[in-house]
Amino acid sequence: MADVQITCINRVPGDNSYDGITHLGTATRKWTRQQVIIWINAKEHTFYTMKDGKRVNIHVYDDKQRPPHLQTYADDKWANDLLDLPECSLQPAMAAALERSGAGSKLA
């Protein structure tokens, strides 16, 4: 199991909601939102980000009224910390090449 610090996101242009997040990543890798949801639900990997020097865990939020999405949870409340992250700079062509090689789907 890997424990991954997420440092950036990509989203659909103009969609500033959690539903608009398409990818989550680090300085060198990124994964689709759906793949991260699968890993979290299967308890294969954990993900977190940092807020004000503190670890904030990323969870799957499923209110049954819309598709599940990723959101941070800390201090007994859901927060918007993912939406505060910068855009990932990893180019789509590089991400696609990583996926084709299998490296983009592995964490270790």
Tokens 């990818």 sit at which residue?
A: 23
What is the pLDDT at residue 99? 58
* 56 against 98, higher pLDDT: 56
Q: DSSP assignment of 6-22, as one string?
A: --EEEE-TT--SGGGEE
Q: What is the pTM of this model?
A: 0.78
Assigned token pair, 59: 């969870």
What is the pLDDT at residue 108? 47
For residues 3-7, average pLDDT: 96
What is the pLDDT at residue 97? 57
What is the pLDDT at residue 87? 93
What is the pLDDT at residue 39? 97
DSSP state of 87: B
User: Is the CB of residue 72 less than 8 Å from the CB of residue 78?
Assistant: yes
- Does residue 103 register a pLDDT over 70? no
User: Is the CB of residue 4 less than 8 Å from the CB of residue 45?
Assistant: yes
What is the pLDDT at residue 76? 87
For residues 11-30, average pLDDT: 86
Reported confidence tier of residue 67, pLDDT bands at 50, 70, 90 = confident
Q: Comparing C-alpha atoms, which of 12, 29, 8, 13 is closest to residue 21?
A: 12
Round to whole Å and give the CA distance between 59 and 68. 10
- Does residue 81 register a pLDDT over 80? yes
Strand partners, 9: 24, 87
